[in-house]
């Protein structure tokens, strides 16, 4: 076994690998960029080496710097995690040439599966079922368009060297093909340095089911069952679970054996995942093989009681697989939710900022039971950031992976709903509320799964914002009153906030704003500073403030006890009541007098990014919804469209320009 390894990654996967290495007594070396000098993964390792500036191509993608760091620190092996260089055959070979062990498959296997086109040709020879499509080398636009017409729409364009949902486009009609191909190629070259694509028939209601395989250098290969990853947005996974709902023993064996055949076809060693598209009728087709550890590997660990990183380390050090196929068993059900800094209501745009608050359900330190031992913990959290850390525009905006286990799927669903309700994140937008709606929605709860689930249930998952309830407004009012009392100077009678007035009582109005609009609360100071009368929506309520501290409030409202955790963010107020988060902003008309600005013809950048395409010329007349330009942020493309019919009066940036969040991109005059 190794005595020291270097972890060539960042974030939660670097922390995850470090946890297993620590348990096995293996020293670890972290690498970091300028942006990550104080990151959690650096603190999780025994020593660290600086790589360079924040952009990945100047730090985490610099293979020579990483290998030099490993040699300088005396590391014997490099664990690549996932993403970055994890599926780079050249890097794997460079490690071997430098006398370092690459904790992953041999370069030849990565190379064989690295091109989706070449991989499909190999799978065809290995008798693994394939989706109808074109997987060849010809890349002329006209030729690919003709192939798409031949296959029949809808078709799926996929970057040949891609992964993680990047460089993928669904094309519904022949006339949309050219624009989709151009966009796909731009994203592919940006993310992978390779703009080749393949064209496949797009199945309308498929499930995404993947098989975890593991092989060693002694000729052994097993499958550790399946994961259902059907719930996706923008071809990126949102929820994963194991085992797949409705999976029969016969179908599991057939898919597992096909996955093992795929691994053997390329002389695979280590952890890998063979991904399949599965039809509702039970048929399945090879999609791709990921020659690394998957983001969603924890659900497999939770149902098997195995540590897949430990298996990786043992296999890479030359040991045989710890178990044979007949010794592997499924225990219970596990679900993983990816918690991202993003805004689902704005097309899942990434959100950047500082995590001024990050609290979660109680979770145990990462440990896994041996096969046949006690069941795993009900809640596990794999996070690469801490409270006070920043989510930057340079890397994936994942905050954490929330993994739960239950004796069956229903129990796991209950545990997930409870754990999501306990999450508290302040400082940036998150997808937590969206995940809560997704978990309790009829489609997911009843396992009516396919990759189009989110789009099919868009109305339920993205409901029209409704006004806050009287309970929420009462809690918000109490939080404000509590803050005012806490800030008063008890020695100054003029600063007291009890509401006392000579021969009368104080009455005041508060206005709270959220996505649904404005809500008014009228307060009548009826008591001694601990009790008030509230007018909300034409109804009168009696409010009493009980024991509270700086970040929580407990009240009685008409005799009912309510409580919530509280976080202030400037004029913004966040309430966490144990079921959901409510975000309100206190409107103080005097605080911003004279600050109003007519936005008029401004179209601004929703996040920091780079202009990759200008789709209109200065002076162009456009209709509402016309695409105007395309920005790239976090390696994903985002189209800026016309808010109404009008004229583009000026373009303020050129292709290739970097823009800051909020930058005015163009001047637009509405018709």
Which residues are annotated as catalytic? 292
| C-alpha distance from residue 544 to each of 178, 344, 474, 519, 521 (Å) | 64, 36, 10, 20, 15
Nearest CA to 300 out of 284, 313, 311 is that of 311
DSSP string, 397-450: -EEEEEEEEESSHHHHHHHHHHHHHT-EEESS--SHHHHHHHHHSHHHHTT---
Distance CA 262, CA 256 (A): 10
DSSP code string of 118-151? HHHHHHHHTT--B-SEE-SS---HHHHHHHHHHH
The SS3 call for residue 332 is coil
Contact 195, 137 (CB under 8 A): no
Nearest CA-CA partner of 543 in 588, 495, 476 = 476
Distances (CA, A) of 75 to 4, 90, 577, 585: 5, 19, 48, 52
The neighbouring-strand residues paired with 391 are: 353
Say if residue 527 is exposed, middle or buried (CB neighbours under 10 Å; 0-12, 13-18, 19+).
middle
- Quote the CA–CA distance of 11 and 383 in Å, as a whole number: 7
Spatial contact of 225 and 328, defined as CB atoms under 8 Å apart: yes
> What residues contact residue 347 under an 8 Å CB cut-off, 6+ apart?
638
Query: Are 214 and 221 spatial neighbours (Cβ–Cβ below 8 Å)?
Result: yes
d(CA 139, CA 482): 66
DSSP string, 151-205: H-SSEEEEETT--TTTTEEEE-SGGGHHHHHHHHHHHHHHHHS---EEEEE--SS
* Residues 224 and 197 sit within 8 Å (Cβ to Cβ): no
Lookup result for tokens 């096995």? 24
Write the DSSP assignment of 514-526 as a string of letters. Answer: ETTEEEEEEEE--
Residue 320 DSSP symbol? P
The residue count for the chain: 671
Pairwise CA distance, residues 300 & 307, whole Å: 9
Contact present, 304 and 328 (Cβ < 8 Å): yes
Distance from C-alpha of 57 to C-alpha of 34, rounded to nearest angstrom: 13
Give the orientation angle of helix 107-114 with respect to helix 116-125, to 10 degrees: 100
Radius of gyration from C-alpha coordinates of the chain: 27
**Secondary structure element (H or E) that encloses residue 11, with its range:** helix 11-23
């Amino acid at each position: 076994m190794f005595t020291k390894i270097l972890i060539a990654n960042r974030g939660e996967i670097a922390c995850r690998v470090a946890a297993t290495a620590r348990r096995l007594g293996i020293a670890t070396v972290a690498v970091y960029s300028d942006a990550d000098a104080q990151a959690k993964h650096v603190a999780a390792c025994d020593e660290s080496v600086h790589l360079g500036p924040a952009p990945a191509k100047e730090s985490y993608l610099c293979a020579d710097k990483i290998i030099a760091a490993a040699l300088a620190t005396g590391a014997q092996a490099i664990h690549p995690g996932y993403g970055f260089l994890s599926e780079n055959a050249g890097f794997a070979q460079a490690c071997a040439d430098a006398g370092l062990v690459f904790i992953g498959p041999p370069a030849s296997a990565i190379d064989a599966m690295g091109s989706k086109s070449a991989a499909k040709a190999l799978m065809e020879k290995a008798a693994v079922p394939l989706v109808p499509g074109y997987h060849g080398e010809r890349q002329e636009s006209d030729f690919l368009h003709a192939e798409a017409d031949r296959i029949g729409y809808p078709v799926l364009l996929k970057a040949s060297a891609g992964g993680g949902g990047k460089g993928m486009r669904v094309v519904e009609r022949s006339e949309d093909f050219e624009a989709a191909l151009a966009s796909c190629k731009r994203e592919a070259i940006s993310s992978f340095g390779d703009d080749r694509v393949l064209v496949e028939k797009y199945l309308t209601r498929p499930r995404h089911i993947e098989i975890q395989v593991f092989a060693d250098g002694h000729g052994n290969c097993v499958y550790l069952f399946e994961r259902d990853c059907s719930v996706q947005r923008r071809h990126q996974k949102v929820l994963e679970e194991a085992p797949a709902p409705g999976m029969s023993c016969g179908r599991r064996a057939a898919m597992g054996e096909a996955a093992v055949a795929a691994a053997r076809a390329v002389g695979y060693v280590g952890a890998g995942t063979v991904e399949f598209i599965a039809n509702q009728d039970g048929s399945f087709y090879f999609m791709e093989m990921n020659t690394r550890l998957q983001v969603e590997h924890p659900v497999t660990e939770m149902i098997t009681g195995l540590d897949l990183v430990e298996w990786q380390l043992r296999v890479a050090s030359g040991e045989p697989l710890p178990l044979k196929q007949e010794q592997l068993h499924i225990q219970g059900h596990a679900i993983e939710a990816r918690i991202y800094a993003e805004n689902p209501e704005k097309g899942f745009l990434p959100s950047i900022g500082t995590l001024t608050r990050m609290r979660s359900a109680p979770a145990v330190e990462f440990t896994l039971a041996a096969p046949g031992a006690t069941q795993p913990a009900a809640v596990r959290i794999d996070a690469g950031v801490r409270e006070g850390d920043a989510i930057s525009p340079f890397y994936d905006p994942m905050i954490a992976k929330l993994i739960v286990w239950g004796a069956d799927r229903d129990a796991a669903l209950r545990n997930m709903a409870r754990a999501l309700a306990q999450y508290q994140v302040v400082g940036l937008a998150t997808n937590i509320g969206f995940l809560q709606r997704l978990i309790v929605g009829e489609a997911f709860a009843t396992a009516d799964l396919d990759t189009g689930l989110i789009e099919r249930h868009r109305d339920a998952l993205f409901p029209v914002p409704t006004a806050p309830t009287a309970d929420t407004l009462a809690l918000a009012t109490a939080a404000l009153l509590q803050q005012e009392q806490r800030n008063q100077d008890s020695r100054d009678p003029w600063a007291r906030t009890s509401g006392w007035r000579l021969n009368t009582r104080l009455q005041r109005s508060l206005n709270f704003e959220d996505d649904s609009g404005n809500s008014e609360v009228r307060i009548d100071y009826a008591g001694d500073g601990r009790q008030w009368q509230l007018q909300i929506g034409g109804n009168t309520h009696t409010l009493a403030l009980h024991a509270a501290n700086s970040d929580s409030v407990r009240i009685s409202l008409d005799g009912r006890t309510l409580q919530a955790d509280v976080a202030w963010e400037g004029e913004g107020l966040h309430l966490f009541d144990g079921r959901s988060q409510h975000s309100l902003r206190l409107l103080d008309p005097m605080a911003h007098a004279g600050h109003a600005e007519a936005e008029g013809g401004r179209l601004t950048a929703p996040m920091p990014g780079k202009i990759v395409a200008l789709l209109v010329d200065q002076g162009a007349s456009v209709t509402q919804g016309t695409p105007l330009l395309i920005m790239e942020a976090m390696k994903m493309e985002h189209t800026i469209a016309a808010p109404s019919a009008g004229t583009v009066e000026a373009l303020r940036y050129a292709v290739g320009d970097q823009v800051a969040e909020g930058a005015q991109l163009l001047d637009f005059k509405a018709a």
